[in-house]
Structure 1
Amino acid sequence: MNKPFLLLFSLSCLIVAATPLICVTCHLRTLTDHCRRGYGICVAQEHETCMSLKIYQHDVLQVSYMVCQKFCNNLKYDLNNRTYVHRCCQSNYCNFRT
């Protein structure tokens, strides 16, 4: 391969690796699909991913919460007749879609 191509390829890989992960923030999203508190974006720091927490009661979404989260884990659990679903993802704005 020629050297200019390798240099350009290496530079593009470096730029992609250095691009920060951007997540949506909303500290209280309601059934009407509106963010009531904390709407914006966050830039994930080291060891952070985008996270969404959705709380269901009788299989109906009650509220959700979205942030950049350190050491995020996907999990689902039931407590007091509610189901809590944590989802972690690693692409820009992915926690708004999940």
Structure 2
Amino acid sequence: MDRHFLLLLFLLCCTVAVTPLRCITCHLRTQTDRCRRGFGVCVARDQERCMILKIFQGGTLQLSYLVCQRFCRDLTYSFQDRTYVHKCCNYNYCNFKR
């Protein structure tokens, strides 16, 4: 009986470990919260997480970009009067809610 329980537990752990991370994709999301190009779902591969890049100008959101991103990290920087905010997360569809 113990062997069956251990086998079942092992299979359950493997199933959970292989469940792929799913992220929303949108290559051009406007300030009206509408995806203009590339709407869909990507399945994150090894070393990838869900990412959203928001671009602000003068404190106003101009557009967003959502994808699966390799080696993603949270980052904020300014360049030519625009602020770029990268946010990364690792649960299903988390980049759409941010």
TM-score > 0.5, shorter chain as reference: yes
Q: Which consecutive residues of structure 1, in runs of 5 or more, have no partner in the other structure?
A: none
Aligned-pair CA distance for 1:4: 3.0
User: Equivalent residue of 1:65, what SS?
Assistant: strand
Aligned-pair CA distance for 1:7: 2.3
AA aligned opposite 2:37: R
Aligned-pair CA distance for 1:2: 3.2
Percent of pairs with identical residues: 60
AA aligned opposite 1:50: C
2:35 maps to what in 1?
35
How many residues get paired? 98
Tell me, in whole angstroms, the C-alpha distance in 2 between the residues paired with 1:15 and 1:82. 43
Aligned-pair CA distance for 1:34: 0.4
Aligned-pair CA distance for 1:59: 1.8
Aligned-pair CA distance for 1:12: 1.1
Tell me, in whole angstroms, the C-alpha distance in 2 between the residues paired with 1:59 and 1:3. 60
RMSD: 1.4
Q: Does 1:82 align with 2:82?
A: yes
User: Equivalent residue of 2:33, what SS?
Assistant: coil
Aligned-pair CA distance for 1:58: 2.1
Tell me, in whole angstroms, the C-alpha distance in 2 between the residues paired with 1:83 and 1:24. 22
Tell me, in whole angstroms, the C-alpha distance in 1 between the residues paired with 2:21 and 2:96. 13
Aligned-pair CA distance for 1:5: 2.8
TM-score normalised per structure 2: 0.92
1:44 maps to what in 2?
44
Tell me, in whole angstroms, the C-alpha distance in 2 between the residues paired with 1:24 and 1:58. 27
User: Equivalent residue of 1:72, what SS?
Assistant: coil
TM-score normalised per structure 1: 0.92
Q: Which moved more, 1:1-10 or 1:46-55?
A: 1-10
AA aligned opposite 1:76: T
Mapping of residues 1-98 of structure 1, within 5 Å:
2-98=2-98
Tell me, in whole angstroms, the C-alpha distance in 2 between the residues paired with 1:51 and 1:27. 12
